[in-house]
Structure 1
Amino acid sequence: MTAPAPSLYLHATRSEIIELAAAEGHDADIPSNAGSIRPVVSRTSTRPRKTVDGQKDLSLSFGKDVEKGEENGSLSSVDEPEETEPNPDIVDFDGPEDPDNPLNWSNKKKWGMVSLISAITFLTPLASSMFAPGVPQVMAEFKSTNNMLAGFMVSVYVLGFAFGPLIIAPLSEMYGRLPLYHSCNFFFIVFTIAAAVASNMGQFITFRFFMGCFGGAPMVLGGGTIADLIPREQRGTAMAVWMMGPTIGPCVGPIIGGFLTVAKGWRWNFWFVAIVAGAFFIMSLILMSETSGTIILERKAKRLRAEIGNDKLVSKLDIGLTPTELFKLSIVRPTKMLFRSTICFAISLYVAITYAYLYILFTTFSVVFRDQYGWRGGTTGLSFLGLGIGSLIGQFVYIHYGNRTVTQHIERGDFKPEHRLYIMTVGGFFIPVGLFMYGWTVQAQTHFMAPQVATGIIGFGLLMTFMPAISYLVDVFTIHAASAMAASTVLRSLAAAFIPLSSQQMYGQLGYGWSNSLLGFIALALIPIPFLFIKYGERIRESSTVKL
């Protein structure tokens, strides 16, 4: 067999591999289109070496102190090739123009896939809160007066976000992105229809949970697919469009749902989502192809082994782990990092508390604006508009000013991850201000624009908190950034699912003014937290001993 020509990614640097891995939603010692910081399969052997007891040596993946950035010496540098002579048994893309490489696909095919993925990523977060204005109808139909259940019907969807991605991400590394897209889209439609025809509260909540589990797939896989298809210099626009889905989807959903509930009833919120998701599913079956370089090269190696009869042929991205080992490697890490890393737990807890505010608002907006302003029918969904606009503004402000601050430190040569948190200190002030303003303007029944502006301030502050935290975790944990972000996602999703359950009861006992003031005082007490991270974060990281 003729040795393959160098691929586009053959000489990918360590930083490029880490960047791509973060976009793809997995750790950088798991292979991707750019390779892996873990040495790929031996040039003389297709499997990892054995230890004296006959077990596979996995020390390459578990000897890293993720916070100190220390290596155990077994991770080889990816900035320089391990050997100058290509091995004819290593299967790679056939040169930089290989049509099998997703980066070489036609622009029509690539941007068609990007558009479809962005649309699906917008739809599934939209479904999280779309039926919120219809909660009173659901409660009446199922003959329930339990305010806790009223809130849980909305937030249980995000509980699914906590658990589904933990399984979806490892499975995508084993079997590729396409099977996970198709299967998750299919089951998302199935459980959406099930929720639309649910006959009691227990069924409805269960189906909503599984909607969230499978609906999280495009948010887990979308960034990686875009990174597979679009070159770095063109990737920013696609990623920005893709990220808008999780940002504004939950806020736009209730606006649509409010008018749809009046026109057709609460069940049609789910029929609408199922119909649109079904259309996207059919389009994905026609338009989407596998983009994971790992899977593409593995299939190529398998085909060549059968054609040529050379059992030594192996993918360039094969790191010698069985699917079971790869699954265990991916699924255990987030839990380890959450409970063994002080800085990961601390930043995740801070984000979880602030994220719970978002779902307290989601689960109470309809009731608040109905009782205090007499909003009925479709106009109830408009109560979410301020929060959505504020969140969108926060995203643009962070992208501009957050990146500018980091760039200045990088140019001076003194950058450290804590510099990502400077803009978080600003967000910390907006959240309590917005909560105080929202609570007392609603209590006093001032013009409805006052609480709308207040919720916009809250949304702005929340985005200025979430975005720096995500960037900070990527910079701190580098090769294991995806596991750190997964750990943070689990904690904040649990907080968003359970903390809002008592919000209706709290409003009933304390009133809107003092209830939101209580949340505001908690947010006020949290203002120093980002400053403490900035001052002591590096010291905490240096004193930690988290080995994976």
Structure 2
Amino acid sequence: MASLNEQKPDSSPSTLNGGEELVESHDIEKQPSQPAATDSLSKTLTQTIAPDLEQNVSRTATAPTIQGPKFPETDLDQGLVGWDGQDDPENPQNFAPSKKWALLALISAFTFLSPLASSMFSPAVVFMAEEFHQTNETILAFTVSIYLVGYVFGPLILAPLSEIYGRRVVLSGANWFFVVWQIGCALAKNIETLIVCRLFAGIGGSACITLGAGVVADLFPTELRGMATSIWSMGPLIGPVVGPIAGGFLGEEVSWQWIFWLLLIAGGAMQIGIELLNKETYAPVLIKWKTAKLAKELGRADLKSAYDLGSEPLSNSQLLRRSLIRPALLLFKSPIVLLLSIYMSLVYGLLYLFFTTISDVFTSTYGFSVGLSGLAYLGIGIGFFGGLVFIALTNDRIVQKLTAQNKGKFEPEMRLPTMIIFACILPISFFWYGWTADKHVHWIVPIIGMFPFGVGMMGVFMPIQTYIIDCYPAYAASANATLTATRSLVGAFLPLAGPAMFDSLGLGWGNSLLGFLALAFVPIPIIFTKYGKQIREKWPVNL
């Protein structure tokens, strides 16, 4: 397996500090030996996903490569500290596959829980409104969507911090922050307190959504990132669908407060496991620790991290300032990040507009109970799962084939061709669901009509996320923070206009308007597939 991790089509020692080409250099410093618990988890994961992974590995073993050192190595004569050779086992890119997938699974588990919390409260809002005597529909919708406002602010702070202090400590602190604020939500005595607590819970819950992209870049070579991103993306895309199903029954049978108690219990138990098993994966931070350790042991003040080679020395405050503005720089200086952020925001907003109508349509039009109305979300959920499986099984293979056709040279745009097809599938649901619900066709028909949206959304989101990681691997967390913040902003506020729009246009024309809007954005993946490389090279981002 070590030979696989050495195969990489796009990096060289001269580009270790700059922008795009720091592809596989998020490597790890020496860590204590892996606990027995991690070994157990690794074995379990290996047994469940090993066949597919091993097929991927064997295919990759013959993939075209460009020879040459990829990771900076220690050269004490020059005062540089890096890895102890290209095969250094402490480098996360050289970890055993079972260990890599185990670490990713830890992040993915919490990444499922946090988005679950975003929508789990949605069907139980009616019970909270009764208790707090609240009738304003916009305020009630805001108690749900305010959680996503936390997703706007959290990533912009947490992602840069992870690139200074490392993934592990930032993820740990933010996850506990998420868990603690569930207590405030459960004990809230008025709607104002509930809104504030939901906001802070969202800020903490955004860490796993944001840092997952960085962990993928830290651990996996280009040819395995499609599969890795697919596994990590299950939480953010499936969680909001499972949430209403569980929340509807829990709110109806017990109480709306128990939604938050359940999140507290599950989040706390999960985070304890993460504390015990998780490892730091960000190479520059780990080599910085290694440099400090060697400087102390050898009594040398001249030692410098190889990841700092060619960069001016910065104080902690200067480094923090530069890191905090990095997501904004990526948004406004990179047309790639800007346009794809707009497209993802639109699709994400459409998802939450869907959510504003589903519960009401199936309770008022089809006579479902609040609990049963949550099952209507299965149409989108099954679509998500179908799209995820397809992308997971095909994306890396397509990249390998296109790389071979390109004489062994990988280009990030190779992630995008299938996205064109999915972008065309996505609008179908709005016409299908909207008009069948409007005409009161049998309830199974609008539920099936949601399936194409789920498939299309997954087929759009996952290639974009992997593409952004491949374009800016050194700053994958910050780039993903930009995507997360912009789409969450739209997802938080666009649905507030949903009730008024559907009251005015009806379900048929209201959803058709959304469908036409989705169709208008289909050219974006076509443009990036054809001209993405020229755009990327014409507007490079120096961070």
2:458 is the counterpart of 1:468: no
Tell me whether 257-266 or 425-434 shows the greater mean CA deviation.
425-434
Distance 1:27 1:328, change over 3 A: farther
Distance 1:227 1:475, change over 3 A: closer
Alpha-carbon separation, structure 2, partners of 1:406 and 1:14: 12
Alignment correspondent of 1:269:
259
> Residue type of the partner of 2:369?
R
Contact 1:9–1:33 under 8 Å retained in 2:
no
Task: Spell out, residue by residue over 1:190-216, the C-alpha distance to the aligned partner (whole angstroms, 9 max, x if none).
Answer: 111111112222221222122111111
Contact 2:151–2:205 under 8 Å retained in 1:
yes
Distance 1:188 1:26, change over 3 A: farther
Alignment correspondent of 1:32:
26
Alignment correspondent of 2:381:
388
2:111 is the counterpart of 1:117: no
Alignment correspondent of 1:501:
496
User: How do residues 3-402 of structure 1 correspond to structure 2 at under 5 angstroms?
Assistant: 15=10, 28=22, 32-33=26-27, 79=69, 86-87=76-77, 89-92=79-82, 113-225=103-215, 239-319=229-309, 320-402=313-395
> Residue type of the partner of 2:513?
L
Contact 1:170–1:331 under 8 Å retained in 2:
yes
Q: CA deviation at 1:308?
A: 4.0
2:405 is the counterpart of 1:412: yes
SS at match of 1:216: helix
Contact 1:435–1:519 under 8 Å retained in 2:
yes
In structure 2, the gaps of 5 or more residues are 30-66
> Residue type of the partner of 2:249?
F
Contact 2:73–2:306 under 8 Å retained in 1:
no
Alpha-carbon separation, structure 2, partners of 1:440 and 1:28: 49
Alpha-carbon separation, structure 2, partners of 1:273 and 1:546: 40
Distance 1:326 1:525, change over 3 A: same
Alpha-carbon separation, structure 1, partners of 2:535 and 2:102: 45
> Residue type of the partner of 2:250?
L
Alpha-carbon separation, structure 2, partners of 1:422 and 1:9: 25
Distance 1:410 1:215, change over 3 A: same
Alpha-carbon separation, structure 2, partners of 1:521 and 1:536: 24
Tell me whether 507-516 or 113-122 shows the greater mean CA deviation.
113-122
Q: CA deviation at 1:347?
A: 2.9
Distance 1:291 1:517, change over 3 A: closer
Q: CA deviation at 1:171?
A: 1.3
Task: Spell out, residue by residue over 1:295-344, the C-alpha distance to the aligned partner (whole angstroms, 9 max, x if none).
Answer: 44433433443444332344444454433333233322321232233443
Aligned length: 496
> Residue type of the partner of 2:26?
S
Contact 1:432–1:520 under 8 Å retained in 2:
yes
Contact 2:178–2:204 under 8 Å retained in 1:
yes
Contact 1:133–1:366 under 8 Å retained in 2:
yes
Q: CA deviation at 1:28?
A: 3.6
Q: CA deviation at 1:514?
A: 1.8
> Residue type of the partner of 1:175?
Y
Alpha-carbon separation, structure 2, partners of 1:29 and 1:403: 16
Task: Spell out, residue by residue over 1:83-134, the C-alpha distance to the aligned partner (whole angstroms, 9 max, x if none).
Answer: 9965274444556887765678899877654443322121111111111111
Q: CA deviation at 1:34?
A: 7.2
Alpha-carbon separation, structure 2, partners of 1:506 and 1:449: 24
Contact 1:11–1:78 under 8 Å retained in 2:
no
Larger radius of gyration: 1
Alpha-carbon separation, structure 1, partners of 2:155 and 2:307: 24
2:450 is the counterpart of 1:455: yes
Alignment correspondent of 1:445:
440
Q: CA deviation at 1:389?
A: 0.8
> Residue type of the partner of 1:527?
V
Q: TM-score, normalised by structure 1?
A: 0.78
SS at match of 1:15: coil
Tell me whether 355-364 or 303-312 shows the greater mean CA deviation.
303-312
Alpha-carbon separation, structure 2, partners of 1:516 and 1:474: 33
SS at match of 1:388: helix
Contact 1:17–1:34 under 8 Å retained in 2:
no
Q: TM-score, normalised by structure 2?
A: 0.79
Contact 2:159–2:478 under 8 Å retained in 1:
no
